Chain A
């Protein structure tokens, strides 16, 4: 069973220094994610969703316990190794899109490929394919400022997907979007999950997102209070 797990989190505790004392953001977390999941970490503001997602994304390290992502123990990686892990297997989607304003849609999506030794023609193929998945092939040469919020978030999905990562981590991806666009991008991600088998893990408290999730992990004050798989 553990062999097929993408992510295994064991007895994880995360504390932040707060002046002289410490603040416990996460405690006693035990979770396993398998390939192809469409899961969400849900809970009120300050419950530790982003903190947990950051550790899974090897942007932060556990204080105690272990988080093993694709056979890499996040706490034991040096910065180079954690960069490699993100580079090869992880995609990120942010609430604020974080597209680079001076680059075109094409160049934004191409960015993750630039770190690989890959021919320009190969990159072009992958970027176009990724933009096709999110339905933005007609905007390749636009700049982010010329796009709507929904379109921006679709570009950032294309950027996260261009290397066909094993896992996509999305922190509040709909927080800046209206209902119509929220549904649109969730349907896009749902389809990618079904077609490509990519694992999606959300951190959210948005009802619109929650209704799409196949698994809901509820956090409260840094503890898992529920972990339900949809019917």
Chain B
């Protein structure tokens, strides 16, 4: 009987090829969308963590409340002690201090007069410690366009776009004009030793990267920082793990009246990603549900038409004494077979496209010209475990459901009535 079914399927293309193509297309889209979505979200999460919030971040309460303004006058104090504590408590994690700052960069000519000037977004990160992870975290080494990484205090990198705009050459002096932690204006001279391009529009427009110790000096921020960022051991964000760390830390620092007391937050609450992440989870589910519904309806109708075409077969099989339930089940087996084959093809196609998008990527920098979002200019898919099996839900479920629906028609019909229809 199984061979009978398989032979029928293989020879009758209306029964196999058409449904398999439909299933494969639906599965293909589902799989691809899932991979695309997790790629985009993964990238967003990852670059937010790397460039902005870490997986968890400690700030002063006041700084946290106003962090969009980069209020260094509200910076976290006693940074070294907190870092030592955190490193002792979570030795597997990476803890780094950072200072973000705003200001003007001023490029003087040979007479010391302003040659060009531009507002900048500055990042003070640990560039010079021998075991610093920051070069890797912010992908600095790979992003260097010209020149080299800072090797001595006083050396900085500036974004390539800014360098072009300001007509800065390597080795040129650049003066940072900004205000100290205590509110007074200050100027600090740096040497530009390299240019950099991160592939993130918001940063490439006007970033300067300086060593955090230099920045502390420049802004008069002894033992202070904008924040301390913590990264989970395998560098992949895990919301539950992060939440546990946050809760523990905040439970030990409950002094809400002291606006300079430290407070910790996790990536999701500190960025606006929380909404996206929930949305993405729901979206995957909706996607599967929608495809199950659409494909079920298509396959149901295909099944009805196929069923009509197959009245002869059903009639004959009833006449030779095959029980209705048996016929119905064999139709379901067929659909399981079609569902599996279609899902495999669709998943393979989806994985192929996802792989392409994972390796090659889709450059969207043209649309991101004025964006301040911390999302990369190249969208990439990410093939996760889910990518391999997600397509089987709509693929199998829809075919079986579609067949069950159309099969009921045959099942419910009076036997003699089926034969009447057979005759015409």
Contacts and interface: CB of A to CB of B under 8 A. Distances in A.
Interface of A: 50, 54, 57, 59-60, 79-80, 82-88, 90, 92, 94-96, 98, 100-103, 107, 111-112, 114-115, 159
B7 A92 contact: no
B1 A115 contact: yes
Given A60-B416, A82-B415, 15 more contacts: A59-B319, A60-B414, A79-B323, A79-B324, A80-B323, A83-B318, A83-B321, A83-B322, A83-B323, A86-B321, A88-B321, A98-B316, A100-B312, A103-B7, A112-B321
A101 B323 CA distance: 22
B165 interface: no
B11 interface: yes
Given A54-B416, A98-B312, A100-B312, A111 B422 contact: no
Contacts of A102: 7-8, 11-12
B301 to A, nearest CB: 21
B321 A59 contact: no
Contacts of A112: 320-321
A59 B4 CA distance: 24
Nearest to B4: A114
A83 B321 CA distance: 4
B415 A59 contact: yes
Contacts, number: 78
B382 to A, nearest CB: 43
A59 B318 contact: yes
Contacts of A98: 312, 315-316, 422
B113 interface: no
Contacts of B8: 100, 102-103
B311 to A, nearest CB: 9
A201 to B, nearest CB: 14
B423 A96 contact: yes
A167 to B, nearest CB: 13
27 contacts: A54-B416, A59-B415, A59-B416, A59-B419, A60-B416, A79-B323, A83-B318, A83-B321, A83-B323, A86-B321, A87-B320, A90-B319, A90-B321, A92-B320, A96-B312, A98-B312, A98-B422, A100-B312, A100-B313, A100-B316, A101-B12, A102-B7, A102-B8, A107-B7, A111-B317, A111-B320, A115-B1
A115 B330 CA distance: 12
Nearest to B311: A98
A54 B321 contact: no
Contacts of A57: 319
A85 B321 contact: yes
A159 B416 CA distance: 20
Nearest to B2: A114
B202 to A, nearest CB: 61
A54 B419 contact: yes
B323 A107 contact: no
Contacts of A79: 323-324, 415
A7 B236 CA distance: 78
- Which range holds the interface residue count of chain B? 20 to 34
A77 to B, nearest CB: 11
A114 B1 contact: yes
Interface in B296-324: 312-313, 315-324
A98 to B, nearest CB: 5
Nearest to A83: B323
Contacts of B415: 59-60, 79, 82
A88 B8 CA distance: 24
A112 B313 CA distance: 12
Interface string B27-62: 000000000000000000000000000000000000
A59 B326 CA distance: 16
A79 B318 CA distance: 10
A54 B419 CA distance: 9
A87 B322 CA distance: 7
Nearest to B417: A60
Which of A80, A83, A87, A159: most chain B Cβ within 10 A?
A83
Contact of A115 (B315, B322, B416, B422): B322
B321 to A, nearest CB: 2
A83 B322 CA distance: 6
B422 A94 contact: yes
A214 B311 CA distance: 34
Q: Which 4 A-B pairs have the closest CB atoms?
A: A87-B321, A60-B416, A86-B321, A102-B11
B417 to A, nearest CB: 9
A186 B121 CA distance: 98
A50 B315 CA distance: 15
Nearest to B10: A102
Interface in B1-32: 1, 4, 7-8, 11-12
Contacts of A88: 321
A96 B421 CA distance: 12
Contacts of A84: 321
Contact of A107 (B4, B316, B325): B4
A48 B414 CA distance: 18
Contacts of B325: 80
A205 to B, nearest CB: 15
A102 B1 CA distance: 15
Nearest to B13: A102
Contacts of A82: 415
B406 to A, nearest CB: 19
B324 A83 contact: yes
Contacts of B11: 102-103
Interface string B324-342: 1110000000000000000
B17 to A, nearest CB: 13
A115 B4 contact: no
Contacts of B315: 98
Interface string B390-416: 000000000000000000000000111
Nearest to A114: B1
A115 B319 contact: no
Given A60-B416, A95-B423, A114-B1, A86 B312 contact: no
